[in-house]
Structure 1
Amino acid sequence: MPARPFPDTLRQIRYGALQDELTDALNALVAECTKTNKTGELVLKIKLKPNPAGQVEVLDDLTVKLPKPVRGTSIFFATPEGNLMRDDPRQQQLDGLRTVPGGEDGEVRDVRSA
């Protein structure tokens, strides 16, 4: 008897559920790898556990390692007390400088043209 092609056996593991999981996992992996331009990994392990009656139990383990997205960073300044602040505590404040609120609709106005 010739060797049975692997995809034929794969289709029958857990009544096709493994094949469906592999398809979904591969599609998700391709999407994430192309979106992040980073490497990912899909690993399928198949373990065979024979018994004296001639049966073989097939156990599968599917692991998917999606690439991690790039995370932003935040800049803080350390104070002498050991706290973190967004504003540099060593930076002097300029008197007379203030934040000007925008118009009600958020539109920027040019006061020179008034």
Structure 2
Amino acid sequence: MSIRPITDTLRQIAGGTLLDNASEQLGELVRAIDANGGSGKLLIEVTVKKATRGGAMLVTGKSTLKKPADEPMEAMLFATVEGNLVADDPRQQKLDLKQVPRASDTPPSSLKTA
């Protein structure tokens, strides 16, 4: 008898739930890396233990997902002499900007060429 593929055994653990969960976790990992970069891990752990009677083996499995950390959020702020952080540079003069009203709704006249 030849060696069976490990996926055959993994499919038996918890009625296939281990492989289903691991498959979903792999998709989640790929999406997280695609969005944020970095790297992560999907660990599948299988424990085999001899049963107390009948020559059977107790096989348990667990899958663990380690996603990359989310990108840190940031803001560019300026320090004041008091030690506060503000959005506008306190060393720069404020400009008193005003909106210019429209002259009228008539279209501009065309220029005549010679």
Aligned match of 1:103: none
Are 1:31 and 2:48 matched, yes or no? Answer: no
Aligned match of 2:12: 12
2: distance between equivalents of 1:12 and 1:71? 41
Pairing 1:35-50 to 2, within 5 Å after superposition: 35-50=35-50
How many residues are matched? 104
Change in Cα spacing, 1:75 to 1:50, as seen in structure 2 (3 Å) is same
Aligned match of 1:98: 97
Change in Cα spacing, 1:45 to 1:76, as seen in structure 2 (3 Å) is same
Unaligned runs of 5+ in 2: 106-114
- Give TM-score scaled by structure 1 length: 0.68
Query: Share of identical aligned residues, percent?
Result: 37
- Give TM-score scaled by structure 2 length: 0.68
Deviations 1:26-48, CA, capped at 9 Å, x for gaps = 22222333344442221111122
Q: CA deviation at 1:10?
A: 0.6
1: distance between equivalents of 2:20 and 2:50? 25
Higher relative contact order, chain-length normalized (CA < 8 Å, sep 6+): 2
1: distance between equivalents of 2:98 and 2:48? 70
2: distance between equivalents of 1:76 and 1:98? 22
**Structure 1 SS opposite 2:65:** strand
Q: CA deviation at 1:55?
A: 3.7
Aligned match of 1:106: none
Unaligned runs of 5+ in 1: 101-108
2: distance between equivalents of 1:21 and 1:75? 41
**Structure 2 SS opposite 1:3:** coil
| Aligned-residue RMSD, C-alpha | 2.7
Q: CA deviation at 1:56?
A: 2.9
